[in-house]
Structure 1
Amino acid sequence: MNNERNTSKVAIIGTGFVGSSYAFSLLNQGIANEMVLIDINKEKAEGEARDLNHGLPFSSPMKIWAGSYEDCKDADLVVITAGANQAPGETRLDLIAKNIKIFKIIVDEIMKSGFNGIFLIATNPVDILSYATWKFSGLPMERVIGSGTILDTARLRYLLGEYFELDSRNVHVYIIGEHGDTELPVWSHGTIGSQPLQSYFKKDNDKIKKDLEDIFVNVRDAAYHIINRKGATYYGIAMGLARLTKAILRNENSILTVSALLEGKYGLDDLYIGVPAIVNRNGIREIVELDLTEEEMKKLHHSANVLKTAIKPYFD
């Protein structure tokens, strides 16, 4: 990782809905000094760069341009948002075959440039493509991070905030596991402010438990609802990627639910899956191993088995 430079440079691969929304978030929040947009459709990347540059008089100074894989050489962070999108009726796992092929080409080209920074993966299925990026790149596991369940956790915090009529930033409950149909909420560690979530179950215990389960189902299926209505999800994940970028470039040591390689934590090995982790300038500093209930651990292992079965044909 290049820590000697005074600038912070982000390369974005893919300028579709997610990539361009993420670029806009970076510009709005002034997170990086340099941003290069790379896309197989060079004109699209150029158009996005021009449009973003026209916002610079309203923002912090930033160098923004459309470039090529060679521009990844001295990037601190390469963020991959390229690939086939989830269509109505498709699950994230339906995209594996198409996107693994695309990723092999992309990651090989990036590594050919001499890139030695951190990968941040957003393309679905994110857990499997993070694992693929780690394998294809040969980089240490701490420098390949997937967006994991950062958005799912944000969705849950938002809906719980609405339910309890509280600022969602004061709600702390994690979603872990696959970013997909087998994810799970960690109710046992949930807090609102500094109070355990369980303390809110004083009255109507059964009703609140049912309501929370309904909220979780809404979170798990949120992408399907949005895709059916507007064709794709991109604002939420763009904000999540910007949050991760800030944690990395500013060396925050923040705990975020990302897709990380497990090697023994939670009794799992050799797979990327969404878990809380400490993120800083070097990537993933440490996996946070929560003391899960027996039921939560069983659901996490089920989620892991689904991912392992899905990826086995490609990395056996």
Structure 2
Amino acid sequence: MEKLYCLIMAGGSGTRFWPRSKTAKPKQYLNIFGEDSLLQSTIKRFSTFTEYEDIYIVSGKTQAKVLEEQTPMLPKQNLIYEPVGKNTLPCIGLAAMFAEIDNPEGIMVVSPSDHLITDEDLFKDTVLTAAKVADEKDGIVTIGITPTYPATGYGYIKAADEITSGEKIKQFKVDRFVEKPDEKTASGYLQQGGFFWNSGLFIFKVSVFLDAVKQFAPDLYDDLKKIQAEIGKETFEPTLDTIYRAVEGISVDYGIMEHAQNIYLVEGNFDWNDLGSWESVYLTDKKDENGNAGSGEAILLDTQNSYVYSDEGLIAVVGLDDVVVVKDGNTTLVCKRDKTEDVKKIVEQLKAGKKNEFL
């Protein structure tokens, strides 16, 4: 198999993790669990089978300072800054243009920066299996997470024919991608079988992916080629800024995966959590005898099944169950656990009110 590259997408704003997630230091740069940030944990996960010099990160310019602080192990030229976020297809295409210069037949693994994966040996085996499929089939491979409950927060992938030949990790052709369902539909998927959660992990030969971009998003391909021609030159940044701002923002699912025929799925049975909200952090974190979780100084009286975090000082909670309390600097969040998806609305209101001191 050819050289293995890794692209970590780290440009998200993490608005559902306010108030800890701020503009200058979004969710992926936070140490939600342990000492390492989510991004640093992701880099370490891939460094067990990918060289540091072959790990790329795409992020936003506003995150440059914190990104460089957290990634001294990576070459600076591997840190790619989007002038503005344009969704996943331009992001992945841009990084693929960098890798193509080095080795167009190399295999690239694309990963979000902020997922929690604990079974790292099985994760490694799964990714390497997917890389083998991508290499041998000239396909674009996604890792589908085996669903454990009828989740409504994930997109789903319907598997078609199994192509596994004796391997322990199952492999399939992909039938179709489906949008985030309601609970009834999701329950039907689980009963029917053959549906997987869309993990956002993709594996492909660089040349195969760029051929798909050329076929299904030709305008984007032409623009990325113009940017690629300036890599390593003084004209790169102004060219990137001018061209990239004008490209269409579109997801890789819409732009490529729903149209191409050479799409495969490798089954992911490792422990996986996309940490989409404070509720998901609570569910993942260790609990005390009252079902409470969190970190920092806190006194919890007559309080159960709650998540409490304080960056400094003390938080006292009395007589409240099923709540999230997060204090960070000059901001504090208090909400019911079943409302954590609405935290992003607070950020929207703060932006509308131009209260940047809290963002």
**Structure 1 and Structure 2 fold alike (TM over 0.5):** no
Q: Which has the higher strand share?
A: 2
Q: Which has the higher helix share?
A: 1
TM-score of the pair, normalised by structure 2? 0.26
